[in-house]
Chains A and B, each alone.
Chain A
Amino acid sequence: GQQVMQIPQYQHVQEGEDFTTYCNSSTTLSNIQWYKQRPGGHPVFLIQLVKSGEVKKQKRLTFQFGEAKKNSSLHITATQTTDVGTYFCAGRGGTASKLTFGTGTRLQVTL
């Protein structure tokens, strides 16, 4: 079955440093979504990418979808303590309606 892996599993940065998490799928994806989960909370949708090579920005967050539609990345510029949480990618393969989540990257930001 479809597998989605994320690296790193955990990252600890100083406030102001950049952060990147990478997502890799074992199969080609029709689209990919990114979610953020604050400690003790539930996942909240951030963005969806659909096109090969697509790049989208949300303020300090930059999302990319690979040319082969099998990988994606989330880059945060100049992290803030409010960025703390776990970031998940989630992908759909082909015509499947179900969403497969990656293993997540937990981000810790300290002053």
Chain B
Amino acid sequence: NAGVTQTPKFQVLKTGQSMTLQCAQDMNHEYMSWYRQDPGMGLRLIHYSVGAGITDQGEVPNGYNVSRSTTEDFPLRLLSAAPSQTSVYFCASSSTSALTGELFFGEGSRLTVL
């Protein structure tokens, strides 16, 4: 099983450019989420989804959009990249029992905004 797959692994953007980080899981998990990881700040939740067609904001949603048209995919869009969005991004999914399920993480996407 592939588990949670994130692409790309590395990306360099210029300020103002847009891009989409892709996330796909093949475990039929209902719950999917995006985190960003910055030194000394742990993992901060950006957006999450409890099922297809349902998304909600996390702690740091500004500057990011998400959609969940299928159970498998949960892309994260940066509409106008800013240097403050330089970070490592992790997608994670969990089983139907979102209140107790463990998170399975992708390998991460390292984004640099110049």
How many chain B residues touch the partner (CB < 8 A)?
26
Among B56, B92, B103, residue most surrounded by chain A Cβ atoms (within 10 Å): B103
How many chain A residues touch the partner (CB < 8 A)?
26
Chain B 88-110 near chain A by CB (<8 Å), digits 1 or 0: 00101000001110111111100
Interface members, chain A 92-109 (any B CB < 8 Å): 92, 95, 97-104
Is the Cβ of B90 less than 8 Å from the Cβ of A42?
A: yes
Is the Cβ of A98 less than 8 Å from the Cβ of B99?
A: no
Is the Cβ of A101 less than 8 Å from the Cβ of B102?
A: no
CA distance A100 to B100 in the complex (A): 13
Seed contacts A88-B42, A99-B45, A103-B41; 8 additional CB < 8 Å A-B pairs: A1-B59, A45-B103, A45-B104, A92-B99, A95-B99, A101-B42, A101-B43, A104-B42
Contact (A101, B44) CB under 8 Å given A42-B108, A43-B103, A95-B99: yes
Contact (A48, B102) CB under 8 Å given A98-B58, A102-B42, A103-B40: yes
Is the Cβ of A9 less than 8 Å from the Cβ of B40?
A: yes
Collect the chain A residues with CB atoms within 8 Å of residue B105's CB: 42-44
Q: What are 10 pairs between A and B in contact, CB < 8 Å?
A: A31-B100, A42-B105, A42-B108, A43-B92, A95-B99, A97-B50, A101-B35, A101-B43, A101-B45, A103-B40
